[in-house]
Structure 1
């Protein structure tokens, strides 16, 4: 079942406080959208707001208390307090509390020591916050829904779409909305959107509706040569880490309005 962010909020609001449900989903989606659009610098602040919302949900789920002001540090103490009864399992409480502590700490007290000359400090920090927040969100949904990780992963992938969407999907068929886009960029975007980041060459030619099929074939050849994608079983190609980096740093910023 495909879910929009609004549908997910409605489902979560049946289990946790509706304000918490809105805050968790909206903070997470906004953080992911802004990063994908090339606006990664606010990620640490967005991650802090996300952690506040998730922590308050966990407090409600674990102790039955609704508190709109308590911060993650205080909630962490409650979650790890062995002297009080808990509804959530000890391992779930421990791991979530620890990861939230790390992410929330980036909001204000990140050190200034960095060793890479290729990425700025904020970019590296943002990548960590982004991926850790995805783990927190997945674990939160697993607990609140009591669903397996596959269902959770599918849901997360479905709700995160760019605010100024580059790709519109209808009945399972994606359409790249950007005008005057090159065949190379369109192939990369379609692979980035696809399940498991892989498609057959025939699917790419079919989905790149604004491109000449021959241009799509040439684009696939060049992307393979540059190792942005790689050929796999039979007629399929898959996105590589090089290609993903190119999408985040070069392709998305070209076609997404900056805030």
Structure 2
């Protein structure tokens, strides 16, 4: 477990959320993201439902200090939403989170994800919608229960997502990129993995393959000129454009 994972977990536990629900929440979130990055899209939707069930139990606990036991069937989504809208004063608990979870359920249960239409793969469409909404829900829980601002909560979730990169395997802290990439993509993957922490020039040179090291400064300048990264003091950090570029081109896929 990373320091960031621990920070999120500890904040939720300190707020009183039962440990088994925190564990279920974070496992379901991490599993969906791992499968999404591997382009294993249908399980992302299934794990999205598992994640939603964990969150609904957390909302039950938040409003009644009791919840449907794990392993037992939850009430219908409509019944839970009606209960929450009448039991909570916090708008996120009453409306925003339940409605987002309802969307995740509907994508799983009511869409024909195997059907192709107009050249668009709905598997990719729907899985992307599911994981982005999961990110928002988790960030909202972190904002409410970890006692941080919305901006800090978003950064924590981005970092939690970024560190879960199947393309990288760590050996005693050394990140091995498990794919032959051109130098610029190698750097982008490493910076995506580091999240808002970024990396120094020395770190990137140490982690790069030997042929890439001599031209590392040129590679970084090219990425900076394209607004894909930013030099923040002595650390290189991906911009939002850089994150989108890595995800859109599926650079993180192992194969």
TM-score by length of 1: 0.74
- Cross-structure match for 1:133: 134
CA drift of 1:98 comes to 1.2
**2:215 equivalent to 1:210:** no
- Check conservation: 1:35, 1:43, Cα contact below 8 A: yes
- Cross-structure match for 1:155: 156
Label 1:155 to 1:3 Cα distance change in 2 as closer, same or farther (>3 A).
Answer: farther
Q: Identify the match of residue 85 of structure 2 among 80, 84, 92.
A: 80
Count how many residue pairs are aligned between Structure 1 and Structure 2.
244
**2:63 equivalent to 1:62:** yes
Q: The residue matched to 2:3 in structure 1 has which SS?
A: coil
Alignment of 1:1-259 (within 5 A): 3-5=3-5, 8-9=8-9, 11-14=11-14, 15-68=16-69, 69-71=73-75, 72-81=77-86, 85-86=87-88, 88-90=89-91, 92-110=93-111, 117=119, 119-160=120-161, 161-162=163-164, 164=166, 166=168, 168=170, 175-178=174-177, 181-182=180-181, 183-195=183-195, 202=201, 205-206=204-205, 208-211=207-210, 212-217=212-217, 219-220=219-220, 229=228, 238=238, 241=241, 244-247=244-247, 249-254=249-254
Distance 1:215 1:244 in 2: 25
Distance 2:233 2:148 in 1: 34
- Check conservation: 2:167, 2:254, Cα contact below 8 A: no
**183-192 or 45-54, larger mean C-alpha shift:** 183-192
Distance 1:89 1:102 in 2: 20
Q: The residue matched to 2:254 in structure 1 has which SS?
A: helix
- Check conservation: 2:8, 2:146, Cα contact below 8 A: no
- Check conservation: 1:184, 1:219, Cα contact below 8 A: yes
- Check conservation: 1:37, 1:162, Cα contact below 8 A: no
Distance 1:76 1:220 in 2: 49
CA drift of 1:77 comes to 1.4
**Aligned-pair RMSD on alpha carbons?**
3.7
TM-score by length of 2: 0.75
- Check conservation: 2:227, 2:239, Cα contact below 8 A: yes
- Check conservation: 2:188, 2:238, Cα contact below 8 A: no
Q: The residue matched to 1:254 in structure 2 has which SS?
A: coil
Indicate the structure with greater helix content: 2
